[in-house]
């Protein structure tokens, strides 16, 4: 595709005024509208923002390619916008964007935007091309650069095709894929191709994009290849690479470090991939050590964390939706009034409250099966899902070997979050063992492994193991709940302070997640009593760091540059929304001073919340669910105290920015 067919002089912004992403979008969309290429500014902006919510289109190195197929677009168009100061775009590398290409395509078009993205990738990855665009004086200069570079690329392709088609030149095959299948997929493709050319290596790159599989690798190419590169953020067909040295990395690595990936694929140091069966089970083997299942290439600790986060991330929507619905039931009864003698029925006393309680409880009951199911799915892929769901359900009802047809008074005791967590890992392990045990069955039985053997044997084995696991896990769960119920005074303050402080240590990292996962685990046992004080401490503590940044930038303006002062305003929104990650740029810039400052305020807030016994049923939502606590005003006050404390400490110890006001 010729870029100049879509890039018009009247749709260029040579000096972009906006300094933030949304402002840049509006300014470039105005160009589209004025040129008659779109019919509705707001409608097209919605499409651009919806695409941006999936993942940033800021690709790094100062380049962004926002794009949308939209009913408001009349004709396919590319808008070129340049900002010499840079736009705060939340790009992949965290750096400002200087060159922005907005692609607008009618919703009736097929894959025009994908072709445009692929073509743009080739130009922008060419050495010196971005620099030339930054120096262009007029829109005509920009169009001429694309015209000249297009001819150079065509000549280069012809030369390279002749030089690199010799069978003596080593061949590498690759697959690129990102979650949305658009920009990053094609940027990685072009980056790998460019690097392979510079290294004198033949390469064939298959793209798993939004329009389907492009340049699909043939069996002959795979057989000839010395190594395979999979630069992907989603699943791709892997069995065809059985027996090949395979490098498996995120798609961003294909863009950023193509030389390292190609070197690893060629030198034989990459693990050998082995497809065990047709159901996704696989191992990779290095020359010195063999790893099985999804533990390949990662330490046990990292693998555990990855599988756990898979379960937690899939569980949270059920907890959030169900928890907020249940909290609304309590709020309705509290607002409408419940006689003192009926307080035990709080949440179900009025019909409206009972309605919300029933809906919320139904969603909430999926929490443990989904947690265990997706832990097992992460370990053993699809065959692990049904077995994991079973483990979670048995953890929820607490059924164990002591009450199987024996004393009817020996009622099951749920093993709760901990039982489901252990059950998920057990279920995944059972399926991996079944895959290994059944690997030597005749090929003719491969088709029924995943629909008969794995679920039947997996359910029976895991079910029996859960009858045993539930006994100690139920005891631990009961002990933990009794401890939490008995917390008052110093104990409650200390636990709240510890968990609140943990939320501010790495702001979205393992320590933060450990506190958050523990808190969500307490929700299942506190539904009937109006919520969890642990959850309340954790959410309040997590809101403090970004709010502290806002406080610091307001009280100590002379220590912050213009960009950081603007980021401080953004952080008040993130803090109120319980998005702790808003503080990460400040923490990364000066961790020695910032992290202790944030942790102190978060711990103060968590301790105050624990001391007051404030309860919360919603695991997320920030200020939007404060009304669902049992003491909203006190909750807000404690958050403000922590944010003020952290903000003042951070402001005092902070070293002034280089561009801070004198």
Helix (H, G, I), strand (E, B) or coil at 3: helix
**Distances 384 to 275, 317, 428, 466 between C-alpha atoms, Å:** 17, 21, 5, 15
Comparing CA positions, the residue from 597, 568, 596 lying closest to residue 657 is 568
Asked about 184 being catalytic, the answer comes back as no
| Number of Cβ atoms within 10 Å of the Cβ of 514 | 17
* Main-chain phi, psi angles of 624, to 5 degrees: -75, -15
Joined together, the tokens standing for residue 354 give 């009972």
Q: Measured between alpha carbons, how far is residue 197 from residues 119, 204, 262, 410 in Å?
A: 17, 11, 11, 71
Residues forming a β-bridge with 283? 274
HSE, side-chain direction, 13 A CA sphere, residue 3: 26
Cβ neighbours of residue 646 closer than 8 Å, sequence gap 6 or more: 504, 544, 545, 547, 548, 551, 552, 597, 598, 600, 601, 602
Query: Phi and psi for 11 in degrees, rounded to 5?
Result: -115, 35
Alpha helical stretches, state H, 338-453: 351-364, 367-380, 383-397, 416-437, 446-448
Cα-atom radius of gyration of the chain, to the nearest Å?
28
Q: Which helix or strand (DSSP H or E) is residue 454 part of?
A: helix 454-486
517 SS3 class: helix
554 to each of 415, 587, 592, how far by Cα in Å? 48, 18, 21
Torsion of Cα atoms, 183 then 189 then 191 then 197, to 10°: -160
Q: What is the DSSP string of 425-447?
A: HHHHHHHHHHHHHTTTS-GGGHH
Q: Kindly state the helix (H) or strand (E) to which residue 172 belongs, with its residue range.
A: strand 171-177
Q: Going edge to edge, which strands form the sheet with 282-285? A: 272-275, 282-285, 290-291
Beta bridge partners of residue 78, listed in sequence order: 7, 103
Q: Which helix (H) or strand (E) holds 464?
A: helix 454-486
- On whether the CB atoms of residues 283 and 292 are closer than 8 A, the answer is yes
Reply yes or no on whether 113 is catalytic: no
Token readout for 332 is 């309705």
Structure tokens at 618: 């919603």
What's the Cα-to-Cα distance from 499 to each of 305, 507, 512, 540, 621, rounded to whole Å? 19, 12, 9, 10, 18
**Active-site residue, selected from the candidate residues 113, 178, 274, 620:** 178
For residues 213 and 14, give the distance between their C-alpha atoms in angstroms, rounded to a whole number: 36
Q: Which residues are catalytic?
A: 67, 178
């Amino acid at each position: 595709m010729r870029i100049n067919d879509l890039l018009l002089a009247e749709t260029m912004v040579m000096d972009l005024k906006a300094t933030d992403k949304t402002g840049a979008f509006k300014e470039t969309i105005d160009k589209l509208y004025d040129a008659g290429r779109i019919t509705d500014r707001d409608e097209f902006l919605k499409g651009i923002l919806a695409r941006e919510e999936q993942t940033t289109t800021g690709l790094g190195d100062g380049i962004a390619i926002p794009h949308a197929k939209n009913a408001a677009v009349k004709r396919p168009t590319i808008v070129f916008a340049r900002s010499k100061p840079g736009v705060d775009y939340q790009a992949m590398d965290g750096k400002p964007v200087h060159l922005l290409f907005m692609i607008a395509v009618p919703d009736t078009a097929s894959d025009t935007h994908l072709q445009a993205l692929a073509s743009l990738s080739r130009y922008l990855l060419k050495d010196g091309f971005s620099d030339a665009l930054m120096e262009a004086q007029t829109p005509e200069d920009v169009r001429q650069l694309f015209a000249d570079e297009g001819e150079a690329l065509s000549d280069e392709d012809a030369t390279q095709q002749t030089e690199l088609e010799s069978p003596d030149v080593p061949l590498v095959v690759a697959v690129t894929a990102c979650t949305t299948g658009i920009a990053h997929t094609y940027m990685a493709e072009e980056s790998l191709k460019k690097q392979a050319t510079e290294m004198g290596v033949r390469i064939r790159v298959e793209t798993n994009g939004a329009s389907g599989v492009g340049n699909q690798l043939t069996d002959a190419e795979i057989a000839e290849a010395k190594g395979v590169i999979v630069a992907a953020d989603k699943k791709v067909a892997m069995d065809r690479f059985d027996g090949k040295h395979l490098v498996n990395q995120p798609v961003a690595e294909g863009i950023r470090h193509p030389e390292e990936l190609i070197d690893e694929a060629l030198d034989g140091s990459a693990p050998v991939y082995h497809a065990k069966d047709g159901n996704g089970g696989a191992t990779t083997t290095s020359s010195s050590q063999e790893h099985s299942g999804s533990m390949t290439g990662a330490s046990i600790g990292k693998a555990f964390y990855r599988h756990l986060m898979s379960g937690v991330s899939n569980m949270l929507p059920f907890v959030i939706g169900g928890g907020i619905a249940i909290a609304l039931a309590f709020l309705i009864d509290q607002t409408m009034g419940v006689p003192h003698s009926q307080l035990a029925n709080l949440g179900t006393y009025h019909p409206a409250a009972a309605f919300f309680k029933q809906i919320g409880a139904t969603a909430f009951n999926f929490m443990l099966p989904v947690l265990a199911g997706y832990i097992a799915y992460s370990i053993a892929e699809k065959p692990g899902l049904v077995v994991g769901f079973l483990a979670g359900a048995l953890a929820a009802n607490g059924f164990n070997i002591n009450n199987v047809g024996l004393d009817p008074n020996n009622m099951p005791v749920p093993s709760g979050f901990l039982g489901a967590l252990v059950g998920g890992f057990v279920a995944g392990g059972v399926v991996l063992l079944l895959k290994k045990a059944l690997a030597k069955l005749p090929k003719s039985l491969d088709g029924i492994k995943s629909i008969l053997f794995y679920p039947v044997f997996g359910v029976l084995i895991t079910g029996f193991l859960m009858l045993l696991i539930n006994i100690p896990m139920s005891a631990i769960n009961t002990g933990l709940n009794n401890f939490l119920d008995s917390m008052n005074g110093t104990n409650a303050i200390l636990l709240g302070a510890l968990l609140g402080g943990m939320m501010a240590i790495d702001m979205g990292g393992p320590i933060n997640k450990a506190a958050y996962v523990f808190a969500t685990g307490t929700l299942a046992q506190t539904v009937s009593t109006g919520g969890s004080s642990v959850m309340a401490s954790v959410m309040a503590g997590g809101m403090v760091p970004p709010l502290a940044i806002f406080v610091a930038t307001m009280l100590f303006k002379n220590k912050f540059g213009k960009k950081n002062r603007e980021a401080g305003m953004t952080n008040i929104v993130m803090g109120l929304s319980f998005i702790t990650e808003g503080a990460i740029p400040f923490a990364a810039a000066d961790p020695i001073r910032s992290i202790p400052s944030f942790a102190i305020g978060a711990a103060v807030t968590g301790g105050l919340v624990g001391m007051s016994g404030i309860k919360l049923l919603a695991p997320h939502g920030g200020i939007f669910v404060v009304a669902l606590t049992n003491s909203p005003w006190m909750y807000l006050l404690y958050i403000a105290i922590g944010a003020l404390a952290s903000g003042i400490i951070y402001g005092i110890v902070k070293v002034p920015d280089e561009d801070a006001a004198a």
